[in-house]
Amino acid sequence: MYRRVRTTGRARKLLIGVAATALLGTALAVGTGMSNAGENCNGLDTALRNNLNFMADQRANPDALSEARIANRQAVVDLIQQRRVTAGCTRQVNADRPAPPAPANPPAPANPANPPAAPVAGDPAAGGGGTGAGEVVCKGSTVTLFNEDAAPGASSGTFPIGTQLKVTNLDNNKSTTVRVTSPSGSCVLLNNSAFEQVREPGKFLIRRAVIERVG
């Protein structure tokens, strides 16, 4: 006849607690690549840096699962930091700077035998918005008119009398070429007949104007 050995509730709880503690220690050792027996600051610092590098790489090159991976690694990082505090580790550990992703279409290297052509004054490609007729001047200036019943002409406080200027209204692509006939306080003012050649109906100011010196 066999006798059944009874285990008291207190002893059973003690055995379960010991087993759970051993299982937790094994899981932590596997998850972090470390064990309490071989734990030291160098190993903790290396483990921390590796996890920080992994997280930085996921942030620099994310995909659909990056957020979940980062959350998991953050839990590991928190555990390592706790162990570093317990071990008295004081070294500052940061992630290595991740390499930037390569551009999808890197620019072709310049061919010294065929250098790029220099921009032409007044060329829109040069940023002046001109028509190629001359040097773009007074960039950003607006153009209005002064009352003078005469042949198309202009007044200017920037250019001397006799200077030939071309004014283009970018809102309707109309242009007029006039000579400066009198001084004023603006870069260029058009007289009545010149302004009529480039104005928009009902408007007395050209806000988007290109002024070129052509002579």
Supply the CATH number for residue 173's domain: 2.40.40.10
Nearest Cα to Cα of residue 178 among 142, 131, 135, 213:
213
Query: What pLDDT is recorded for position 127?
Result: 42
Q: Which residues of the chain have pLDDT under 50?
A: 1-2, 4-5, 7, 14-38, 119-128
What residues form DSSP beta bridges with 155?
182, 189
Count of the separate structural domains present in the chain: 2
Residue 101 belongs to some domain of the structure? no
Query: What pLDDT is recorded for position 115?
Result: 56
Q: From CA 215, how far away is CA 202, in angstroms rounded?
A: 31
Query: What pLDDT is recorded for position 9?
Result: 55
DSSP code of 52? H
Residue 75 belongs to some domain of the structure? yes
Q: From CA 33, how far away is CA 43, in angstroms rounded?
A: 9
pLDDT digits (tens, 9 = 90+) for 101-143: 655 555 566 555 655 555 444 444 344 455 556 899 999 889 9
130 and 198 together in one domain: yes
Query: What pLDDT is recorded for position 210?
Result: 93
Query: What pLDDT is recorded for position 123?
Result: 45
Query: What pLDDT is recorded for position 197?
Result: 95
Query: What pLDDT is recorded for position 170?
Result: 94
70 and 142 together in one domain: no
Both structure tokens of 58: 């996921």
Query: What pLDDT is recorded for position 166?
Result: 95
Residue 102 belongs to some domain of the structure? no
Q: In one letter, which amino acid is 134?
A: G
Confidence (pTM) = 0.41
Residue 117 belongs to some domain of the structure? no
Query: What pLDDT is recorded for position 95?
Result: 86
Domain of residue 139 covers 124-213
128 and 61 together in one domain: no
Residue 188 belongs to some domain of the structure? yes
